[in-house]
Structure 1
Amino acid sequence: MSMAFFNTFLSLFLLLSLLSLSSPHSLSSSSSIHDLLRSKGLPAGLLPDEVKSYKLSENGLLEVFLDGPCLTKYENRVFFESVVRANLTYGSLIGVEGLSQEELFLWLPVKDIIVDDPKSGLILFDIGVAHKQLSLSLFEDPPHCKPQGGLKLKKHVRKEKGFESLR
């Protein structure tokens, strides 16, 4: 009887071990996302410390979940929504959603983040209207991101008082 118990225990242990290895793309540690970025040729500091979990699908879609919307600064201010999505390939995040950068008092969505040549020391940010090259050294360490409640930057448009409102 004890041999049957041992075989059952061993089978259960092996099954649980295999299950834990079968889903390496769904991790919940914020340090794990930073390790993933490094393994893909990107600096760890592209995402803040406040990442609570992430999912990486087999087709390369990366979904990063933060504690909430937050604001940080590299060279300029950067706004992270609660969920940031992008297609992750070696050296790039393409089709980024949920990340905006302040440029000359305007908030512009970051479309792509690319490290073509790590030896150049530069990282390229495609902000739609322009491509901006920044020093990779700005992104070495994950920044602290300050909570911004329900702030939606896309809705922050200055309303002008028109002629009609002055009557």
Structure 2
Amino acid sequence: MEYFSSNKTRVCLTKLICFFIMFWLSLPFSFSSYFSIHDLLVSRGLPAGLLPKEVKSYTLSENGTLEVFLDGPCLTKYENRVFFDSVVRANLTYGSLIGVVGLTQEELFLWLPVKDIIVDDPKSGLILFDIGVAHKQLSLSLFEEPPDCKPQGILKNQVRKEKGFVAVR
């Protein structure tokens, strides 16, 4: 039994399928209602824990620009302390975040902006952070789980207490 009894039916069906495909492709790439940011990172060859749990939403444009919106600026710690602005932007490609804006890392008492984050070879177990003046390789295991990110004053107070100092404000 032939489902398409005429060329006219096939042409109409083809046009309908093309219409739905074009409609779907014309929608903005806002996957946040479908995938968490952490799932998106993993699907693009990056560890889920690169961004904190406190991400409210994100957008991913057709050209790969990723914008991540947090509840507010916050601090967390991987190997060193890291500060996230309330909006973090980067170009997302497979295995990398290039041109990062809104993320700084503490190195030897200096806060340096993170420029790029790259996982060249997941089998190596390393992730590369380009902080402008240097490239820093860290273990991917530090980024397995999304960290808690605290408002700036809370984490600083906890760090000072750990080192034997009491924060006075």
- Contact residue 28 and residue 62 of structure 2 kept, 8 A: no
User: Structure 1 CA distance, aligned partners of 2:133 and 2:127?
Assistant: 17
SS in 2 for 1:25: coil
SS in 1 for 2:36: helix
- Contact residue 28 and residue 52 of structure 1 kept, 8 A: no
2:105 maps to what in 1? Answer: 101
Matched, 1:118 2:122: yes
1:165 maps to what in 2? Answer: none
- Contact residue 76 and residue 102 of structure 1 kept, 8 A: yes
Which of residues 59, 62, 69 is equivalent to 1:65?
69
Which of residues 77, 84, 90 is equivalent to 1:80?
84
SS in 1 for 2:98: strand
SS in 1 for 2:76: strand
Which deviates further from its counterpart, 27-36 or 100-109? 27-36
TM-score between the two structures when normalised by the length of structure 1: 0.74
Summarize the Cα distance change of 1:19–1:53 in structure 2 as closer, same or farther, 3 Å threshold: farther
User: Structure 1 CA distance, aligned partners of 2:23 and 2:53?
Assistant: 28
**Structure 1 residue 28 displacement after superposition:** 3.6
User: Structure 2 CA distance, aligned partners of 1:135 and 1:23?
Assistant: 37
Identify unmatched segments of 5+ residues in structure 2: 1-21, 154-169
Identify unmatched segments of 5+ residues in structure 1: 1-17, 150-167
Quick one: percent identity of the two aligned structures?
86
1:92 maps to what in 2? Answer: 96
Runs of 4+ in structure 1 deviating by more than 3 angstroms, as ranges, are 18-24, 27-31
Which of residues 37, 44, 52 is equivalent to 1:40?
44
1:41-67 superposed Cα distances (whole Å, 9 cap, x missing partner) = 000000000000000000000000000
User: Structure 1 CA distance, aligned partners of 2:23 and 2:102?
Assistant: 32
SS in 1 for 2:42: helix
> How many residue pairs were aligned?
134
- Contact residue 69 and residue 82 of structure 1 kept, 8 A: yes
TM-score between the two structures when normalised by the length of structure 2: 0.73
1:30-51 superposed Cα distances (whole Å, 9 cap, x missing partner) = 9610000000000000000000
SS in 2 for 1:142: coil
Coordinate RMSD, CA, aligned:
2.3
1:127 maps to what in 2? Answer: 131
- Contact residue 28 and residue 61 of structure 2 kept, 8 A: no
